[in-house]
Amino acid sequence: MKGEILIRNVKLVDSWGEHGTAEVLVGEGRILSLSGGDADRVLDASGYVLSPGFCDPHAHLREPGQEVKEDLTSGLTAAARGGYTDIVSMPNTTPPVDSAEVVSALKKKALLIAQARLHPSAALTQGQEGKLLTEAKLLAEAGAVMLTDDGRTNEDAGVLALGMQYAASWGLTVSVHAEDAGLRRGGVMNEGEVSFRLGLPGNTGYAESARIARDLEIVRYVKSKVEGQRSKAKTLLHIQHLSTARALHLIRGAKADGLPVTTEVGPHHLTLTDELLESLDPLYKVAPPLRTKADSEALINGLLDGTIDCIGSDHAPHTQDEKELDMLRAPFGIANIEVCWPVLYTELVLKRGFPLTTLLERFTDGARRVLGFEAIRLEEGAEASLVLWNPQQERPVNPQTFASKAKFSPWTSWKLKGWPVMTLVEGRVVFDNLRQLA
Amino acid sequence: MTATQEPTPATAQPPRSLLDFQGWSRGQLESILETAKMMQEVLARPVKKVPALTGFTVATVFFEASTRTRLSFELAARRMSADVLSFAASTSSVSKGETYKDTLLTLDAMGLDAYVIRVDAAGVCHQAEKWLGKPIINAGDGWRAHPTQALLDAFTLLEKLGTLEGKKVAIVGDIQHSRVARSNAELLPMLGAKVVACGPATLLPGSLLAAELTTDLRQALSEADAVMALRLQNERMDKGLLPSLPEYISGYQITEGRLGWAKPDAPLLHPGPMNRDVELEGSLADSPRSLVERQVANGQAVRMAVLYHLLVGKKS
């Protein structure tokens, strides 16, 4: 058997377990064999791990209109470097992605860029204005994978209920940035002892949990309506970037009740807390805000027990100038797609003994399940969208090396392991750091 | 910090800037207050000028309008023979969209030694210190801190009460949005006082360092050694945090009668500018119990002392 790449002596790990060492032959976009063969390029991957490519249900790639922050080329290249083969882009661009034409155009452009694969999400309402629904059927046909007004909050419960119901009939899940705008009151960081001391406007965690409590009731309502309608979507609502223990508790209860909801958490809410704002550096300004240690501990437990389905990066690049504005004016967002895996592999698996296969599940199968995608298995015949990563070599985070346009990071100088060294999308090498390492 | 705390070793270096009181020891702050006393003597002379800061250029950069604080700093700097560069945002490029960082770097290119900065957002003075690497005096950043105001309040209280050890200071008004309250809640306990912060529930934070919080004015004023009323911004009513001005006055205005709950002769302070007949019953502002004018006079001496300490070093 002749393939394009032979990855020798590589350890296979996916969400099902650690499968020992294999000789992975890749060709025609697939895994041809796990026991070797001839190839044009042969790599000795001793000491490395091969896993299914990561999937991110939530990244801001800023195109169209905000290319000064990020564009498809920089964003999808950054994603590939982070080990991602599949990325969902958020539609809060300028203008918002709310038409099938723009979804098609983004998909076409991403194919030419040929880095991580792009799966655009589109606006739930026209112009993301929270009033009139977008064309879910046409958007789905053009390749949109979710509908969301992320960047804004869905204040009108009626519109959200209609949107959920209608989107479901075309197989689309609605995803929400769940924060009550009234309770949030213009807060720029977590409301609590630290914000009181710093004199910064606080955003209470109850803004998130109160909104989620409402949204879960809307799901219950919509579920009762669509049950007899043969709706295509399995999940009615995906709740983005969970940040509080209270919200986790509500979702855990909803899932136990059988409500069709999913959720995600970002690496920053798992590893950083509001005490970092003591620096008064807008680098740490993000929405929802960094919370307390008790919250991040609860979220780690939720990630472990499966209440949280997947990691969503919420990669949110901005320019350095914007992030050097003051705490009130700087935009919300942390760019992180290149460090998500090393941050969580190091901080959760290596430092706390979090199970590796569970973390991998949340980066791969869990995220694909949320999106209705097939899982990628490490077996003969499977799609060769894969990441090769180094579990041993320690390297400090250096944002200057990022492919993302946002060359700053709250994890700067953190010494991490688990760095991806090669990413393949359908058998094509899109990121290759192996030669430099050799 | 308590009275039993070890004195700071003479070798400990005070921070380069006065952003808030973090990193400052009680000894270092008392040393500034000592210097302020000497500056007060300078200000009592017929010729109110010393050459201490000859050759230094101090910039007052006010991104937010303020007359009295800016004039107080500028006069303080001039009385010590510093050159003063006065920059106000309304007449500047900030209104044309230039960022704080670019504005400060542009000013810095003119060769300045220290910056007095007033700004609407918490933390800009901290950022400025990083960008400029020069002494910064925070003249008020958002709701966060106004350390020279707290120092002049402490100085004025010490002048009147002799000591702050064990004294109860009641701060009344819009605590949540007050940098004056926050800085006093940081400083006064370092000097031995107990701070009780009082205001309408919607204008109180959930916590404020070691300060005791209460919505009960009588409880706050009871046995207080000093009372400080804060300015109430009309904006609070517009944002729905308070039902009305009469409602506030009815609950929280400091009146002659209510002042009777405090210790006899407990002095009354206000950082200004004052809304007469809102925070204070009008007549109280001019009564012998009011230290408002002392605060303004002492402000200059305290600011001279701060500039001196940051630019020249320890009091000789």
User: Measured between alpha carbons, how far is residue B124 from residues A77, B86, B135 in Å?
Assistant: 34, 18, 14
Nearest residue, CB atoms, A199 vs list B101, B127, B144: B144
**pLDDT at B1 > cutoff 50:** no
Helices and strands per DSSP (H, E), number in chain A: 16, 20
Structural domains in chain A, CATH included, are 2-50+381-393+412-437 (2.30.40.10), 51-371 (3.20.20.140)
Which of A314, A321, A326, A432 is catalytic? The answer is A314
Q: Does A275 touch chain B (CB under 8 A)?
A: no
Q: Do A199 and B179 touch (CB under 8 A)?
A: yes
pLDDT at B93: 63
Which run of H or E residues covers position A203? strand A202-203
Q: What is the mean pLDDT of residues B66-92?
A: 91
**pLDDT at B128 > cutoff 80:** yes
pLDDT digits (tens, 9 = 90+) for A301-316: 999 999 999 999 999 9
User: Measured between alpha carbons, how far is residue A138 from residues A99, A135, A161, A172 in Å?
Assistant: 8, 6, 20, 11
pLDDT at B234: 79
**Share above pLDDT 90 across residues of chain A, in percent, rounded to a whole number:** 96
pLDDT at A438: 46
Query: Considering the domain B26-146+297-311, what is its CATH architecture?
Result: 3-Layer(aba) Sandwich (3.40)
pLDDT confidence of B99, banded at 50, 70, 90? Answer: confident
pLDDT digits (tens, 9 = 90+) for B287-300: 999 999 999 999 99
**Share above pLDDT 70 across residues of chain B, in percent, rounded to a whole number:** 94
Q: Is A353 exposed, middle or buried (CB count within 10 Å of its CB: 0-12, 13-18, 19+)?
A: exposed
Cβ-based contacts of A326 with chain B (< 8 Å)? 100, 119, 121-124, 127
- Is A156 catalytic? The answer is no
Cα separation, B27 vs B172, whole angstroms? 28
Which run of H or E residues covers position B196? strand B194-198
For residue B169, give the nearest of B285, B249, B266, B253 by alpha carbon.
B266
Q: Which amino acid is at A253?
A: G
- Mean pLDDT, chain A, whole residue set: 96
Nearest residue, CB atoms, A199 vs list B122, B127, B207: B122
**Cα-based angle B124, B127, B129 (whole degrees, multiple of 5):** 110
Touching B: A residues 299-328, CB under 8 Å: 321, 324-328
pLDDT at B315: 39
Q: Does A281 touch chain B (CB under 8 A)?
A: yes
Q: Tell me whether the CATH fold assigned to B26-146+297-311 matches the one assigned to B147-295.
A: yes
pLDDT at B95: 64
**pLDDT at A1 > cutoff 80:** no
Contacts 24+ apart (CB under 8 A), A408-415: A408/A283, A408/A320, A408/A323, A408/A335, A409/A283, A409/A334, A409/A335, A409/A336, A409/A339, A410/A268, A410/A272, A410/A276, A410/A283, A410/A284, A410/A334, A411/A271, A411/A336, A411/A339, A411/A343, A414/A343, A414/A346, A415/A346
Residue A238 near residue A264, CB atoms below 8 Å: yes
β-sheet with B83-88: strand ranges across: B83-88, B57-62, B114-119, B136-141
pLDDT digits (tens, 9 = 90+) for B134-149: 999 999 999 999 999 9
Helix B147-161 with B26-44: angle, nearest 10 deg: 70
CA–CA min distance B251, chain A (Å)? 23
CA–CA min distance A344, chain B (Å)? 30
The structure tokens listed for A140 are 């789905």
Which residue's structure tokens are 């709706």? A231
**A109 three-state secondary structure:** helix
pLDDT digits (tens, 9 = 90+) for A248-259: 999 999 999 999
Cα separation, A371 vs B187, whole angstroms? 54
For residue A138, give the nearest of A102, A176, A163 by alpha carbon.
A102
Q: Do A191 and B206 touch (CB under 8 A)?
A: yes
Q: What count of residues does chain B have? A: 316
CB contacts < 8 Å between A and B, how many? 59
Mutate to test the interface with B, among A188, A196, A200 (most CBs of B within 10 A): A196
pLDDT digits (tens, 9 = 90+) for B164-179: 999 999 999 999 999 9
Q: Does B126 touch chain A (CB under 8 A)?
A: yes
pLDDT at B5: 46
**pLDDT at A243 > cutoff 60:** yes
Mutate to test the interface with A, among B207, B230, B235, B241 (most CBs of A within 10 A): B207
Q: Does B119 touch chain A (CB under 8 A)?
A: yes
pLDDT digits (tens, 9 = 90+) for A12-21: 999 999 999 9
pLDDT digits (tens, 9 = 90+) for B29-38: 999 999 999 9
**Share above pLDDT 70 across residues of chain A, in percent, rounded to a whole number:** 99
Q: Do A280 and B127 touch (CB under 8 A)?
A: yes
Mutate to test the interface with B, among A280, A285, A320, A321 (most CBs of B within 10 A): A280
Q: Does A350 touch chain B (CB under 8 A)?
A: no
Q: Do B122 and A191 touch (CB under 8 A)?
A: no
pLDDT digits (tens, 9 = 90+) for A67-120: 999 999 999 999 999 999 999 999 999 999 999 999 999 999 999 999 999 999
For residue B180, give the nearest of B258, B100, B66 by alpha carbon.
B66
Q: Do B206 and A192 touch (CB under 8 A)?
A: yes
pLDDT confidence of A228, banded at 50, 70, 90? Answer: confident
Cβ-based contacts of B209 with chain A (< 8 Å)? 197
Q: Which amino acid is at A221?
A: Y
Cβ-based contacts of B143 with chain A (< 8 Å)? 199-201
Cα dihedral B83/B87/B92/B93 (nearest 10): 80
- ipTM attached to this prediction: 0.90
Residue A163 near residue A125, CB atoms below 8 Å: yes
pLDDT at B316: 38
Cβ-based contacts of A324 with chain B (< 8 Å)? 99, 101, 127
CA–CA min distance B242, chain A (Å)? 15
CA–CA min distance A186, chain B (Å)? 12
- Mean pLDDT, chain B, whole residue set: 92
**pLDDT at B94 > cutoff 80:** no
For residue A191, give the nearest of B196, B212, B176, B181 by alpha carbon.
B176
pLDDT at B222: 98
Domain B147-295 class in CATH:
alpha beta
pLDDT digits (tens, 9 = 90+) for B247-287: 999 999 999 999 999 999 999 999 998 999 999 998 999 99
pLDDT confidence of A31, banded at 50, 70, 90? Answer: very high
Cα separation, B250 vs A319, whole angstroms? 49
Cα separation, A155 vs A71, whole angstroms? 29
**pLDDT at B107 > cutoff 50:** yes
Cβ-based contacts of A319 with chain B (< 8 Å)? none
Nearest residue, CB atoms, A196 vs list B120, B123, B207: B207
pLDDT at B183: 98
Which residue's structure tokens are 């308590």? B2
Indicate the domain borders of chain B: 26-146+297-311, 147-295
Q: What is the mean pLDDT of residues A233-243?
A: 94
pLDDT at A233: 74
Q: Which amino acid is at B308?
A: Y
Q: What is the mean pLDDT of residues A214-223?
A: 97
pLDDT digits (tens, 9 = 90+) for A392-412: 999 999 999 999 999 999 999
pLDDT at A32: 97
Residue A116 near residue A86, CB atoms below 8 Å: yes
Cα dihedral B126/B132/B136/B138 (nearest 10): -40
Per-position DSSP letters for A228-267, written without gaps between them: GGT-S-S-SEEE-----HHHHHHHHHHHHTT--EEEEE-H
For residue A150, give the nearest of A93, A202, A110 by alpha carbon.
A93
Q: Do B142 and A328 touch (CB under 8 A)?
A: yes
pLDDT at A209: 98
Per-position DSSP letters for A74-85, written without gaps between them: HHHHHHHHTTEE
Touching B: A residues 106-145, CB under 8 Å: none
Q: Does B134 touch chain A (CB under 8 A)?
A: no
CA–CA min distance A16, chain B (Å)? 47
Q: Do B206 and A193 touch (CB under 8 A)?
A: yes
pLDDT confidence of B11, banded at 50, 70, 90? Answer: low
**B92 three-state secondary structure:** coil
User: Measured between alpha carbons, how far is residue A168 from residues A145, A251, B36 in Å?
Assistant: 11, 20, 71
The b/e string for B123-153 (b: 16+ C-beta within 10 A; e otherwise) is bbbbbbbebbebbbbbbbbbbbbbbbbbbbb
Nearest residue, CB atoms, A327 vs list B99, B123, B179: B123
For residue A178, give the nearest of A202, A157, A196, A199 by alpha carbon.
A157
Q: Does B235 touch chain A (CB under 8 A)?
A: no
Residue A155 near residue A216, CB atoms below 8 Å: no
pLDDT: is B239 or B43 the higher one? B43
Residue B164 near residue B267, CB atoms below 8 Å: no
Which run of H or E residues covers position A274? none
